[in-house]
Amino acid sequence: MSMDLIIEAKDVAKWYGAFQVLKDINLTVRKGERIVVCGPSGSGKSTLIRCFNRLEAHQKGEITVNGITLHDRMRNVAEVRKNVGMVFQHFNLFPHMTVLMNCMVGPMWIKGASAVEAKKIALRFLERVRIPEQANKYPVQLSGGQQQRVAIARSLCMEPAVMLFDEPTSALDPEMVSEVLDTMTSLARDGMTMVCVTHEMGFARAVADRVIFMNSGQIVEEGNPEAFFTNPQHDRTKLFLSQILKH
Amino acid sequence: MLYPDTVEAEVLVHKPWFVVTMFAVILAIFLAFNLTGTTMGELMRPVIGDPLQSGLYGRFAVAFVVAVIFSLNVVLIGFAPLKIQIAIVWFELLLLFLAFFETFHLSLPFIWEKLPFLITQGAVTTLYVSAISIVIASVIAILGAVAKLSTNGFAYAIASFYTSFFRGLPLLMQVYLIYLGLPQLGFVIDAVPAGILALSLCYGAYMTEIFRSGIQSIDRGQWEASRSIGFGFGITMRRIILPQALPVIIPPTGNQFISMLKDSSLVSVIGVWELMFLARTLGQKSFQHMEMLISTALIYWIMSICLELIQSRIERHYARSKVR
């Protein structure tokens, strides 16, 4: 295994009871790669990336993240999560802390940074997502787009090796989608390794190195965005693309 | 706060039908009771002559005056802003309350003589017994709640057995069982520790359920966000989940505090010199039960009010992050 593989999934399978959500998933993510995962709802996209930081457990196959293999009895799951940032559909900011504190807690409580250092880090990344002026507000006082950017900053503060995005714009008003996508695009430009579950096809076309299409727990099609959008191979992909590009 | 409609309704107590009805009802009630023999009748002497000789005319005049004063009072209060309304009504109810107790002809010197002891011994004991118990109960409650939510069979079984047992027995019986039962097993235990133990175990069981529901009320996404940053169970619980659960937990817990303060009176049966015990015993010698009972009641009430104030203070503190 070469050193620049960040995520490697081999024959991964997962069941919810008798229902199989993931079937024989094989996927590698190299350092600096931007991958967009799309597919109809219920196809297992979110479940897949949630397996990458062990928010969900897979039952078969092997997932290796940053050189650490994920399994049931691992003692160093925090080591993996430290290196994997995650951004959720519903932001999941900590509502009882200010924006600044939301960003400071990771460095402080995981990496043992002092409050002064943590504040410096937090402000740097709030600057990075262009909302340093909101630092002392509480999450409820911000718009959805701002909250999502704070959530991105919070993950960045841990300086992760890879960022996972779980439909980051699906819960946003149309006007706020672009500010979040802009932030993600600029992250991509800076060479951040990213795996994004999203239906923003414009973003996929502009940013992705590879687009992965999933249907009922399987990776149906995988390719560079140009080929994926102009010349999809699989019928299910064609149907999906015609549905979401129709309007 | 109930969310009121933004269309401003006319004040109820200023509607003519309401004022007339209120006036009629008050008049009828006071006509039914003959008040000519009371202070009211005495005050009306210039109008109705000798109260006891005034007959139906006197009775009507007194009732009429009372009804006018009452209705006028209500209508006037209707003009005041909300805060002042609340204050005035509270104050007036309190006055009526005191006037009611006044009719018992309590011996004030006796109360003044016993009050210091009632406070330094009784109220202090009640306070420290309930304070210690509530602290222990909270600790039990957190452990119990975590155990009841855990996937560990032993933890769940022990916690649910505990809550089931201690919620299922009367507190008074628990006090007896611990005070009289433990010595039979060879542990001789003083009355105060026995009382504290009984109160903590009982309230711990109730509060376990409160804490459990509070923890459960927190969205799953908070757990996931915390986990995804890399926080373990301890930090997630202490720094992320519990602080958010507290606003949910505090109102019912405040209720439990107040309820505990009064239920601590049950330990009087095993001879702890707390408020209730003193209330029953101090007045016994001279048959002045009412004096002691009423002053003790007031002391309980004042302590409860203090707790209510503290509770609302804490609630306001936690409301900060909800302000838009």
Residue B78 shares a structural domain with residue B114: no
Burial of B229 per CB tally in 10 Å (0-12, 13-18, 19+): buried
Residue B239 in contact with partner chain A when CB distance is under 8 A: yes
Is residue B159 a part of any domain in this protein? yes
Q: Looking at the complex, report in whole angstroms how far the Cα of residue B4 sits from the nearest Cα belonging to chain A.
A: 23
Mutate to test the interface with B, among A70, A89, A92 (most CBs of B within 10 A): A92
Q: Distance between CA A169 and CA A178 in Å, rounded?
A: 9
Residue B227 in contact with partner chain A when CB distance is under 8 A: yes
Residue B76 shares a structural domain with residue B121: no
The structure's pTM equals: 0.80
Residue B89 shares a structural domain with residue B157: no
Residue B236 in contact with partner chain A when CB distance is under 8 A: no
Strand A34-38 relative to strand A193-197, pairing: parallel
Q: Do B229 and A106 touch (CB under 8 A)?
A: yes
Kindly tell me if the per-residue pLDDT of B324 is higher than 70: no
Is residue B1 a part of any domain in this protein? no
Six-digit token pair at B127?
């306070």
Tens of pLDDT, residues A124-180: 999 999 999 999 999 999 999 999 999 999 999 999 999 999 999 999 998 899 999
What pLDDT, on the 0 to 100 scale, is given for residue B37?
Answer: 75
Burial of A12 per CB tally in 10 Å (0-12, 13-18, 19+): buried
Q: Is B178 helix (H, G, I), strand (E, B) or coil?
A: helix
Q: Distance between CA B183 and CA A187 in Å, rounded?
A: 70
Is residue B4 a part of any domain in this protein? no
Amino acid present at B161: F
Residue B139 shares a structural domain with residue B192: yes
The residue out of B102, B133, B166 marking a domain boundary is: B102
- CB interface of B with A, residues 243-262, below 8 Å: 243-244
Q: What is the mean pLDDT of residues B291-312?
A: 90
What pLDDT, on the 0 to 100 scale, is given for residue B247?
Answer: 87
A157: nearest CA partner in chain B: B229
Q: Looking at the complex, report in whole angstroms how far the Cα of residue A86 sits from the nearest Cα belonging to chain B.
A: 6
Neighbouring CB atoms inside 10 A of A114's CB total 10
In this prediction, the answer to ipTM > 0.90 reads yes
Tens of pLDDT, residues A207-235: 999 999 999 999 999 999 999 999 999 99
Q: Which residue segment(s) compose the domain that B93 sits in?
A: 12-102
Residue B219 in contact with partner chain A when CB distance is under 8 A: yes
Residue B115 shares a structural domain with residue B213: yes
Kindly tell me if the per-residue pLDDT of B4 is higher than 80: no
Q: What is the side-by-side strand order in the sheet with A19-30? A: A19-30, A5-16, A60-65, A68-70
Is residue B194 a part of any domain in this protein? yes
DSSP string, B266-315: GGGGGT--SHHHHHHHHTTTTT-HHHHHHHHHHHHHHHHHHHHHHHHHHH
Residue B315 in contact with partner chain A when CB distance is under 8 A: no
Strand A68-70 relative to strand A193-197, pairing: unpaired
Of A103, A56, A102, whose CA–CA distance to A77 is shortest? A56
Q: Which of A188-197, B149-158, B290-299 has the lowest mean pLDDT?
A: B290-299
Mutate to test the interface with A, among B228, B242, B249, B314 (most CBs of A within 10 A): B228
Residue B229 shares a structural domain with residue B115: yes
Mutate to test the interface with B, among A94, A141, A148, A163 (most CBs of B within 10 A): A94
Is residue B16 a part of any domain in this protein? yes
Residue B230 in contact with partner chain A when CB distance is under 8 A: yes
Tens of pLDDT, residues B67-95: 999 999 999 998 989 899 999 999 999 99
Residue B115 shares a structural domain with residue B230: yes
Tens of pLDDT, residues B86-144: 999 999 999 998 888 888 888 888 888 888 888 889 899 999 999 999 999 999 999 99
At A1, the pLDDT band (50, 70, 90 cuts) reads very low
Q: Looking at the complex, report in whole angstroms how far the Cα of residue A18 sits from the nearest Cα belonging to chain B.
A: 21
Q: Looking at the complex, report in whole angstroms how far the Cα of residue B221 sits from the nearest Cα belonging to chain A.
A: 6
Q: Which of A14-18, A145-149, B272-276 has the lowest mean pLDDT?
A: B272-276
Q: Do B232 and A90 touch (CB under 8 A)?
A: no
Q: Looking at the complex, report in whole angstroms how far the Cα of residue A110 sits from the nearest Cα belonging to chain B.
A: 7
Given a contact cutoff of 8 angstroms between Cβ atoms, the answer to whether A62 and A142 are in contact is no
Phi, psi of B265 (to 5 degrees): -65, -20
The residue out of B79, B102, B125 marking a domain boundary is: B102
- Out of A105, A106, A140, name the one closest to residue B324 (CB): A140
Domain count, chain B: 2
Is residue B124 a part of any domain in this protein? yes
Residue B113 shares a structural domain with residue B212: yes
Of A212, A201, A175, A169, whose CA–CA distance to A45 is shortest? A212
Kindly tell me if the per-residue pLDDT of B277 is higher than 80: yes
B224: nearest CA partner in chain A: A55
A53: nearest CA partner in chain B: B228
Q: Looking at the complex, report in whole angstroms how far the Cα of residue A124 sits from the nearest Cα belonging to chain B.
A: 18
Residue B85 shares a structural domain with residue B131: no
The residue out of B81, B102, B123 marking a domain boundary is: B102
Is residue B7 a part of any domain in this protein? no
What pLDDT, on the 0 to 100 scale, is given for residue B320?
Answer: 67
Is residue B3 a part of any domain in this protein? no
Residue B148 shares a structural domain with residue B286: yes
What contacts B202, CB < 8 A, 6 or more positions away? B166, B167, B169, B171, B174
Q: Distance between CA B194 and CA B180 in Å, rounded?
A: 9
Q: Distance between CA B193 and CA B82 in Å, rounded?
A: 46
Say which residue, A196 or B319, is predicted with more confidence.
A196
Residue B224 in contact with partner chain A when CB distance is under 8 A: yes
What contacts A152, CB < 8 A, 6 or more positions away? A87, A129, A163, A168, A180, A183, A184, A187
Q: Is A220 helix (H, G, I), strand (E, B) or coil?
A: strand
Residue B51 shares a structural domain with residue B120: no
Strand partners, A37: A197, A212
Given a contact cutoff of 8 angstroms between Cβ atoms, the answer to whether B275 and B300 are in contact is yes
- Out of A78, A88, A97, name the one closest to residue B230 (CB): A78
Q: Distance between CA B215 and CA A48 in Å, rounded?
A: 28
What pLDDT, on the 0 to 100 scale, is given for residue B286?
Answer: 81
A75: nearest CA partner in chain B: B232
What pLDDT, on the 0 to 100 scale, is given for residue B208?
Answer: 95
Residue B86 shares a structural domain with residue B133: no
Mean pLDDT across chain A: 92
Six-digit token pair at A79?
């080591």
Strand A60-65 relative to strand A5-16, pairing: antiparallel
